[in-house]
């Protein structure tokens, strides 16, 4: 029986992920690291309030078998590119480094379609640099998920994402072949794919783009 650790549990995909983990008997405990107390209650859920800038506190909290990162923000919410990077890159890599020191063998993270450390686009460049840093840490199993536009009900409205999802869905059936990975995908599908991959525990580096995630999450 495994203990799953989740950061980004209160976001769109993170919420689905926690629900999927709690429903799966493979995991006896789901530990979520959150900034504020979480009202969600379940016998298998442990909610730990942390300061993600407090490395000793994080070190004490990160104990388990499989680490899931769904952490992420937007420029609008973060306010500046620097604050955005502090969340998407800083929190992810800090937690990953601690998890590796704690000998946690598996690390699963959500990135983005088009992630590239040398992209001219700040968002995609940050995602790519985060992937690069995680791969350098050297987990026994590293699993990177690159979904296209995520479909689901968010707590906050994101106009750019809404417009992108609308256009992607409008041309859904025109996206074939190498363009198929740009189809929108349900956040719940991504969450179920992450759980399935974690249970398979295939060592090495594995990168799943949106079309592959769709097949895994069915």
Answer yes or no: are the C-beta atoms of 111 and 129 closer than 8 Å. Answer: no
**Cα gap 52→200, rounded to integer Å:** 29
Under the phi-then-psi rule, with left for phi > 0, alpha for psi from -120 to 50, and beta for the rest, what region is 134?
Answer: alpha
Answer yes or no: are the C-beta atoms of 143 and 216 closer than 8 Å. Answer: no
pTM of the model: 0.88
Position 187 scores a pLDDT of: 93
pLDDT (tens, 9 = 90+) of the chain, 218 residues, equals 899 999 999 999 999 999 999 999 999 999 999 999 888 888 999 999 999 999 999 999 999 999 999 998 888 888 899 999 999 999 999 999 999 999 999 999 999 999 999 999 999 999 999 999 999 999 999 999 999 888 866 555 555 555 555 555 555 555 555 655 566 788 999 999 999 999 999 999 999 998 899 888 76
- H or E segment and range at residue 214: helix 210-217
Position 8 scores a pLDDT of: 96
- H or E segment and range at residue 190: helix 187-200
Position 148 scores a pLDDT of: 87
Position 176 scores a pLDDT of: 59
Question: What is the residue extent of each domain of the chain?
Answer: 2-153+160-217
Position 154 scores a pLDDT of: 55
**Cα gap 149→170, rounded to integer Å:** 13
3-state DSSP percent of the chain in helix, strand and coil, to 5: 45, 20, 35
**Class for the domain spanning 2-153+160-217:** alpha beta
Position 23 scores a pLDDT of: 94
* CA distances for 147 relative to 26, 44, 96, angstroms: 25, 28, 20
> DSSP labels for 87-138?
IIIIIHHHHHHHHHHTT--EEEEE--TT--TT-SSHHHHHHHHHHHHHHHH-
């Amino acid at each position: 029986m495994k203990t799953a650790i989740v950061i980004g549990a209160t976001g769109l995909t993170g919420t689905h992920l926690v629900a999927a983990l709690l429903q799966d008997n493979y995991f006896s405990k789901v530990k979520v690291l959150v900034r504020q107390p979480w009202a969600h209650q379940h016998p298998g859920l442990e909610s730990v309030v942390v300061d993600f800038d407090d490395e000793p506190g994080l070190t004490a909290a990160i104990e388990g078998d499989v680490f899931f990162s769904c952490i992420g923000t937007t420029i609008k919410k973060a306010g500046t590119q620097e604050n955005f990077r502090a969340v998407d890159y800083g929190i992810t890599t800090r937690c990953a480094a601690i998890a590796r020191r704690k000998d946690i063998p598996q690390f699963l993270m959500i990135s983005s379609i088009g992630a590239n450390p040398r992209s001219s686009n700040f968002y995609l460049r940050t995602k790519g640099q985060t992937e690069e840093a995680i791969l350098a840490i050297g987990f026994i199993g590293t699993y990177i998920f690159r979904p296209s536009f995520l479909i689901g009900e968010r707590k906050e409205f994101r106009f750019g994402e809404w417009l992108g999802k609308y256009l992607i869905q409008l041309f859904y059936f025109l996206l074939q072949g190498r363009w198929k990975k740009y189809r929108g995908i349900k956040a719940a599908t991504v969450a179920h794919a992450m759980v399935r991959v974690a249970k398979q525990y295939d060592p090495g580096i594995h990168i799943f783009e949106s079309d592959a995630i769709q097949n895994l999450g069915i």
